[in-house]
Homo-oligomer: A and B are copies of this chain.
Amino acid sequence: MKQHLITDIKTNKNILGCYFMTVQNLGKFAKQIYLKGRNEMEKTGNPIMKAHSSEVEPEMFRVLTPDGEIIETIDGKIDKSLMLKMYESMLLLRTFDRKSINLQRQGRIGTYAPFEGQEASQAGSALALAAGDWMFPTYRDHGAAIIHGQELYRVFLYWMAHFDGSICPEGKRLLPPSVPIATQMLHAVGTAWASKIKGEKNVSIAYFGDGATSEGDFHEALNFAGVYKTPTIFFCQNNGYAISVPFEKQSASKTISQRAAAYDIHGVRVDGNDIFAVWMTVKEAVERALKGEGPTLIEAITFRYGAHTTADNPNIYRDQDEISTFWRENRDPITRLRKYLNKEGHWNEEQEELVLKQFNELIDAHLKKAEGYPKSDPLEMFNHVYAEESWHLKEQKQELNQFLKKGGKK
């Protein structure tokens, strides 16, 4: 199945994207998944449909089923130590995310964008990257950023609205969360293009959501990447909603991966809650990119259990309980890997407890660091507007400084 999904469309001239097959054409495993998907949906009044707006869920690449079974060859690709790393990464992210929501409720951080439910997409993709790869996250992808090397206290600082929350560790190629939707996709084209020119063996990955696919920049980025065959990975987390707007209102197209065909680039639809499948897909995209075969558009099907941000109330626009419960019970990325690891004897309750304890301590330590971090000085707002301060900013800084010295109130 995987080979099919990741086949270069150019060798399949009469089918624009073979990941977009009907059930008749599916291989054995794919058929199983497909039927499983239908069963799941029928059981619960079709909540995936609600989240992802298809009468029949279009095909996607899956390796690890929600029951913790492996239906693809992973030998030589994912070994035990990587599995444990994947599992622990997701656990860390979930712990961090829940903590952050609590901190927001306590007023210790500002409005926060949670990602619980999307851990496999974020951790799986980030783990498939090399240290020197360029990463362009959105406001919801601090999970991926953390796995790529961002420090936890910096993430807290970001949500505390501290200037220094947008800095990444020295030498890392990790840009601050992009706020204007879809814009960062072009930056990932540009950095990848530069890597190619310089002969540097690095890819650039841009994260974005299903909503982002409606923006013109999505189109321009995919098109440029196709023309210059840049080593760019376009990683879409299709969580079914852009704030309150379901994907069916976003586009008449059933999938996002099918858009790859519009640019004659490579496209894959993958179960975004299956960290094995995500990792393998991104890994393969990285390899293709480094071999000079150009960009890949990846659509990872996932769901965020919580609100768009802590300022949002999802009950207004969706049956939050039913749909979240369905996903938690049937599609959770962590549960499914835990089931598998348990079965294989790679993981047990004690390990889980121990690791969770360590993560909680780690997160607390970072929180402490963030809360103890010197506050942003108001005068800092004049720094880094330009590399060299211009006369007008010198004067305005001086003006504010004098005002503050005289005890002027903000």
Contact = CB atoms under 8 A, between A and B. Distances in A.
Interface string A315-350: 000000000000000000000000000000000000
A258 interface: yes
A178 interface: no
Protomer copies: 2
- Tell me what chain A mostly uses at the interface: helix, strand, loop, or mixed: helix
A15 B294 CA distance: 24
A16 B261 contact: yes
A223 B24 CA distance: 29
A220 B220 CA distance: 11
A265 B262 CA distance: 12
A38 interface: no
A250 interface: yes
A316 B292 CA distance: 31
Contacts of A261: 16, 258, 261-262
Nearest to A20: B16
A25 interface: yes
B219 A258 contact: no
A223 B259 CA distance: 11
A226 B214 contact: no
A261 B226 CA distance: 17
Contact of A214 (B215, B223, B254, B264): B223
A252 B229 CA distance: 9
Given A216-B215, A216-B216, A252 B258 contact: no
Contact of A219 (B16, B219, B250, B252): B219
A163 interface: no
Interface string A17-60: 10011101100000000000000000000000000000000000
A17 B14 contact: no
Interface in A40-98: none
A13 B259 CA distance: 15
A268 to B, nearest CB: 15
A217 B216 contact: yes
Interface in A180-233: 214-220, 223, 226-227, 229
Given A251-B263, A253-B264, A16 B13 contact: no
A227 B250 contact: yes
A249 interface: yes
Contacts of A252: 223, 226-227, 229, 263-265, 294
Ranked 10 nearest A-B pairs via Cβ: A216-B216, A219-B219, A226-B252, A16-B16, A262-B262, A259-B262, A252-B264, A253-B264, A13-B22, A14-B22
8 contacts: A14-B24, A14-B25, A16-B16, A215-B216, A223-B250, A223-B252, A252-B263, A258-B261
Interface of A: 13-17, 20-22, 24-25, 214-220, 223, 226-227, 229, 249-254, 258-259, 261-265, 294
